[in-house]
Chains A and B, each alone.
Chain A
Amino acid sequence: MRVMFAVSDYLPHYFPMVPLGWALQAAGHEVRVVCAADQVSHVDSAGLTPVPILEDVDMLMWARIGHFAAARDGRVPADLDLPVVNPRTGEVLAGVEDFDLDGFMKTIRGPEAAKMGRRIDAMVDFAQRWSPDLVVYDLLHLDSVVPAKVTGVPAVCHLTGPVGTRETGYGLNFIPEHYSRAYDKHGVVERGTGLISHVIDICPASMAPPTDAVRLPVRYIPYNGPGSMPAWAARKPRRPRIAVMWSNTLSHLYGPGSFAVPAIVDALRDLDVEVVLTVNAEAAKTLGPLPQNVRLLEHCPVHLLLATADVLVHSGGAGATLTAVANGVPQLFVTFGAEYRANGRRLAATGAGLQVHGPGIDAETIRKSVLTLLEDPSYRDHAGRLRAELLDRPSPAALTGVLEELAAR
């Protein structure tokens, strides 16, 4: 069968789809990943074939617009403690008075709406020519249902982690409020969650994302991008190993104050542990000279490292969360923003980790949390149980049969 993946311009949201792409290709199906030009290298380095027919969307800008509008309208929960940033530049602002959102929207709304329409047209055009049997899309790319509806094939939403399609909390609802006119043009009248008939759910059952759609369970298989690992990182050190992973996105959304790695390094410098930072060189440069127990590891997919790690400290992205689950590693979430906090709370509720509030975080809180995770065996036990739950789910290879049946209906 022919399977059209259609993905957003935000790789953390579509990387969890990659193993399903492998499974389909390895079963002899054809997969094409319809994407924007700036995603090509990410898609093709994953072993999948990109079809770069979409115009780029500045996802960070749109996230900042959403956050700014909510702050201006008083909808951001105070306990998130997030600064207001300029939607255009990402610079931290003193207050919502310092940016004219309505004026800015006037300048971009027309061109952006036209672009979204052209993206949908391009997907419809591709689907009409290539005739896929199935469309799979990530939650940030709901527009992908349009080509599926036009060509009369099922569309399946591939979730990214514990955040589902029936979310009420602030910042967790990824179902758009506004829809392109291209929906009407292509005869799609439905709006909202009703557009999502099936979701592929990659989480262990105790972290099940809320959804009204038909749930297709699958096991999360870690894929964190291309890369390799030096021999030292493959060996388990004498001391406990603490892996640290940090999102590249956060400081673009919430300003430089959301880069908590300096506090994490400071918290761990005097402990008898080996700290492995998997941050990029640019981020590492801002850290200055590193303590002797801290090593930098670049271009290494984090799942390779976690085989030898005792704790993962991270910013709360779904990829890091589930990669740690897949390795049975207890995790400490230092979170900024609603989605990351929700991931952390949902994981912490299983007993496999802890979540702490990022804004204003101090080294002592981090140190205590890491020591708790190292010293209290219940966290590793729960992480092991969660891993077993994940392994109980069907593999992507097994899911291909389910998708074949769905497409054949």
Chain B
Amino acid sequence: MVSDYPGHYFPMVPLGWALQAAGHEVRIVCGPGQVETASRTGLPALARGTDVDTLVQARIGYHLEARAGLANHPGLPPLHPLTGEPMARVEDFDWPAYQPQFVAQQAIQGRDRTRGIAGFARHWRPELVLYDLLSVEGLVAAHVSGARAVCHLWGPTGTDEAGYGLERMRPDIPAPVRERLGIDPDAELVTHVIDPCPPEVAPATRATRLPVRYVPYHGPGSAGRPAFAAPGRRRIVVVWSNSLTRIFGPASFVVPTVLAAAADLDVELVLALSADDAARLGTVPPGVQVLRQFPLSLLLHNASVVVHHGGAGCLMTALAAGVPQLALPFGLEQEMIARRLAGTGAGIAIQGSAAEAGNVGTALRALLDVAQHAHAARSLAARNAAAPSPAELVPVLAGLVDRSAHARAVRGL
């Protein structure tokens, strides 16, 4: 059971392969808009419920913060939450007028999603439901089928993070739905999490932690001619989110700042960008390679530094490859995990809206030249490699399946 953003469920895919390769049956249940992508991972995907526009949701969240005077990046012009176009003032969007419609729409989407997934679970009778932080309907599916529910984290963001804007990520079934389904209002539903992080960047959770090795997977379209040529010069790889400018506006595209900062360094620069961002960048200095949608893990084997926006997929892929990272986050969650990584010495975090050629250049030089960073990055990668593989997690999950509860629920269906 997955939410409407591929970056949230790609980290679960290697476990799906592991389960299938061990002879288990797996289905991804997702919104209709995700079926095409989700079904091209090697796992079959089924559509249930209606789509949720995660970009609109994210923009509304940040809009409300700006209205409350809590904007994380006051220098960036606000975006219209529905169109994504920059606005002169936050008040140009009439939130009080839109709010009732938004609330009603959220309720309908939530209900459709819950009904769809519950219907599927009653029919297919899973023994195990894996869900991500934003697909809490998985908890309902597990309840109606007697399955064990396990939350699969996508990176260093846990089920019990403290701090503004992060506590709302805690997965739960709302009280009215609990009442309707006869679930004890005080029952702790998040009992187990699959945690792909080394302890040094451990996400906060009160649940039982099932450690697993992070195996990078970047989704369909991961083809590429291998980049073998070992560069005589050190290589900096810059990878940027496809959706960031649609949440924080064009001003959040700070890759030109990174280029300016790296201009004086004797390095080879490789940029992996979406087509839109590549177009936004325009012409680049000679010697800078721009790749479209190239899978990050295939680029990192001889990289000295990775620069990214703090997305969990980039951060974890670089972590697994043992490459020091510079994170330039805009989102609250990205900022939290970037700081968590920086705490290990394997990376440096600079708030995206504060990035300038000066501080980015200083950070890049430190990551290239100060041995502690490379050492910390290698040590995190070694920790990751020593964690149980997804294949080794399969028997652990099988051991968690409560067959008697499953049998009771199936009898009751």
Contact = CB atoms under 8 A, between A and B. Distances in A.
A407 B141 CA distance: 43
A397 interface: yes
Interface stretch (B17-25, B262-270, B302-310, B343-351): B17-25
Interface residues of B, number: 40
B233 to A, nearest CB: 19
Interface stretch (B161-169, B219-227, B245-253): B219-227
B42 A46 contact: yes
Contact of A26 (B15, B41, B47, B124): B15
Interface stretch (B60-68, B175-183, B387-395): B387-395
Interface stretch (A162-170, A221-229, A313-321): A221-229
Contacts of B43: 47
B123 interface: yes
A234 B123 contact: yes
Contacts of A43: 223
A228 B46 contact: yes
A311 B45 CA distance: 24
Interface stretch (A48-56, A74-82, A112-120, A240-248): A48-56
Given A49-B222, A129-B228, A396 B21 contact: yes
A207 interface: no
Interface in B111-140: 123-124
Given A23-B391, A45-B220, A228-B47, A51 B215 contact: no
Best-buried of B21, B215, B217, B226 by chain A (most CB within 10 Å): B21
A20 B40 CA distance: 17
A43 B222 CA distance: 9
A26 B222 contact: no
Q: Which of A18, A28, A51 has most B Cβ within 10 Å?
A: A28
Interface of B: 13-15, 17-18, 20-23, 35, 39-47, 123-124, 213, 215, 217, 220-226, 228, 295, 298, 385, 389-392, 394
15 contacts: A18-B42, A20-B21, A23-B17, A23-B391, A28-B391, A40-B223, A43-B223, A44-B223, A45-B40, A47-B13, A47-B217, A49-B223, A53-B225, A221-B21, A398-B22
Nearest to B24: A395
Nearest to B17: A22
Contacts of B295: 49
B42 A52 contact: no
Contact of A397 (B22, B44, B45, B213): B22
A26 B42 contact: no
B46 A23 contact: no
A205 interface: no
A46 to B, nearest CB: 5
B223 A50 contact: yes
Interface residues of A, number: 42
Nearest to B28: A228
Nearest to A227: B39
Contact of B14 (A26, A221, A397): A26
Q: Which 9 A-B pairs have the closest CB atoms?
A: A47-B42, A22-B17, A26-B18, A23-B21, A45-B40, A27-B391, A397-B22, A28-B389, A26-B390
A400 B22 CA distance: 11
A219 B217 contact: no
Given A49-B295, A52-B223, A227 B44 contact: yes
A104 interface: no
Q: Which of B17, B41, B45, B389 has the largest number of chain A CB atoms within 10 A?
A: B17
A126 B226 contact: yes
Given A51-B225, A126-B226, 14 more contacts: A19-B21, A23-B22, A26-B390, A27-B18, A40-B223, A44-B220, A49-B223, A51-B224, A51-B226, A226-B44, A227-B39, A229-B44, A229-B46, A397-B391
Nearest to A20: B21
Contacts of B13: 47
Given A26-B15, A52-B225, A234-B123, A44 B40 contact: yes
Which of A20, A44, A227 has most chain B Cβ within 10 Å? Answer: A44
A223 B42 contact: yes
A96 interface: no
Interface in A382-397: 391, 395-397
B388 to A, nearest CB: 9
Contact of A234 (B40, B124, B223): B124
A90 interface: no
Interface in A69-93: none
A131 to B, nearest CB: 11
A26 B23 contact: no
B389 A26 contact: yes
A221 B44 contact: no
A219 B390 CA distance: 20
A345 B1 CA distance: 42
A397 B47 contact: no
A235 interface: yes
A45 B217 CA distance: 12
Contact of B44 (A22, A129, A235, A301): A301
A172 interface: no
Given A44-B40, A47-B17, A28 B385 contact: yes
Nearest to A399: B21
The residue in A27, A40, A130, A396 that gathers the most chain B C-beta atoms within 10 A of its C-beta is A27
Most central of B45, B213, B221, B391 by chain A CB within 10 Å? B391
A51 B390 CA distance: 24
A44 B222 contact: yes
A48 B45 CA distance: 17
Contacts of B39: 45, 226-228
Contacts of B389: 26-28
